[in-house]
Structure 1
Amino acid sequence: MAGNSDPLTPRAKLAVTAGKAVAAASRAAGRGSGSVIGGRVALRLDPDLLARLAQNLDVVLVSATNGKTTTTRLIAEALRAAGPVVSNALGANMPAGITSALAGGSDAKFAVIEVDEKYLAGVARDTDPKCIALLNLSRDQLDRAAETRMLAENWREGLAGSKAVVVANCDDPLVVWAASSSPNVVWVAAGQMWKDDAWSCPSCGGVMQRPGDDWYCGECGFRRPQPTWALSGDHVLDPHGSAWPIHLQLPGRANKANAASSAAVAAVFGVPPQVALERMYQVQAVAGRYDVVQFLNRDLRLLLAKNPAGWLETFSLIDQPPAPVILSVNARGADGTDTSWLWDVDYTRLTGHPIFVIGDRKLDLAVRLEVANQHFQVCDTLDQAVQMCPPGRIEVIANYTAFQDLRRRVGN
Structure 2
Amino acid sequence: MAGNSDPLTPRAKLAVTAGKAVAAASRAAGRGSGSVIGGRVALKLDPDLLARLAQNLDVTLVSATNGKTTTTRLIAEALRAAGPVVSNALGANMPAGITSALAGSSDARFGVIEVDEKYLAGVARDTDPKCIALLNLSRDQLDRAAETRMLAENWREGLAGSKAVIVANADDPLVVWAASSSPNVIWVAAGQMWKDDAWSCPSCGGVMQRPGDDWFCGECGFRRPTPSWALSGDHVLDPHGSAWPIHLQLPGRANKANAASSAAVAAVFGVPPQVALERMYQVQAVAGRYDVVQFQQRDLRLLLAKNPAGWLETFSLIDPPPTPVILSVNARGADGTDTSWLWDVDYTRLTGHPICVIGDRKLDLAVRLEVANQHFQVCDDLDQAVQLCPPGRIEVIANYTAFQDLRRRVGN
**Normalising by the residue count of structure 2, what TM-score does the alignment of the two structures yield?**
0.99
Residue 393 of structure 1 aligns to a residue whose secondary structure is strand
Secondary structure of the structure 2 residue equivalent to 1:244: strand
8 Å contact from structure 2 (residues 190, 230) kept in 1: yes
Partner of 1:146: 146
Offset of 1:101 from its aligned partner? Answer: 0.3
What is the CA distance between 1:4 and its match in structure 2?
Answer: 3.3
The RMSD of aligned alpha carbons is 0.6
Distance 2:13 2:321 in 1: 56
| Alpha-carbon distance in structure 1 between the residues aligned to 2:210 and 2:327 | 33
Question: Matched residue pairs, number?
Answer: 412
Please show how residues 1-400 of structure 1 align to structure 2 within 5 Å. 2-400=2-400
> What SS class does the counterpart of residue 187 from structure 1 fall into?
strand
- TM-superposed CA distance for 1:301, in Å, is 0.2
CA contact (8 A) 2:358 2:379 kept: yes
The CA deviation at 1:274 is 0.0
Q: CA deviation at 1:144?
A: 1.1
Offset of residue 72 of structure 1: 0.1
Distance 1:375 1:363 in 2: 14
- Deviations 1:381-412 (Å, cap 9, x if unpaired)? 10000001123200000000000000000000
- Contact 2:236-2:245 within 8 A present in 1 as well: yes
Q: Distance in 2 between matches of 1:343 and 1:321?
A: 23
Shift of 1:6: 4.1
Post-superposition CA distance 1:139-194 (Å, at most 9, x none): 00001101000000000000001000000000000000000000000000000000
**Matched residues in 1 for 2:254 and 2:235: separation?**
13
Paired residue secondary structure (2:392):
coil
Q: Is the 8 A contact 2:249 2:284 kept in 1?
A: yes
Preserved contact between residue 297 and residue 391 of structure 2 (Cα < 8 Å): no
State the SS of the aligned residue for 2:19: helix
**Unaligned 5+ residue runs, structure 2?**
none
CA distance in 2, matches of 1:141, 1:208: 25
Percent of pairs with identical residues: 96
Q: For 1:320 and 1:74, locate their aligned partners in 2 and report how far apart those are by CA, in whole Å.
A: 27
- C-alpha contact (below 8 Å) 2:326/2:396 kept by paired residues: yes
Q: Secondary structure at the match of 1:366?
A: helix
Could you report, residue by residue, the CA deviation over 1:260-308 in whole angstroms, capped at 9, with x for unpaired residues? 0000000000000000000000000000000000001110000000000
In structure 2, how many angstroms separate the alpha carbons of the residues matched to 1:114 and 1:320? 32
How far the C-alpha of 1:5 sits from its partner, in A, is: 1.9
The answer to whether the Cα contact below 8 Å between 2:285 and 2:291 also exists between their aligned partners in 1 is: yes
Mapped contact 2:187–2:225 kept (Cα < 8 A): yes
Q: Distance in 1 between matches of 2:121 and 2:2?
A: 25
CA distance in 2, matches of 1:346, 1:86: 38
Cα distance in 2, alignment partners of residues 371 and 2 from structure 1: 56
Deviations 1:204-253 (CA, angstroms, capped at 9, x unpaired): 00000000000000000000000000000000000000000001000000
Give the C-alpha shift of residue 7 in structure 1. 3.0
Distance (Å, rounded) in 2 between the aligned partners of 1:140 and 1:218: 28
Mapped partners of 1:3, 1:353: distance in 2 = 54
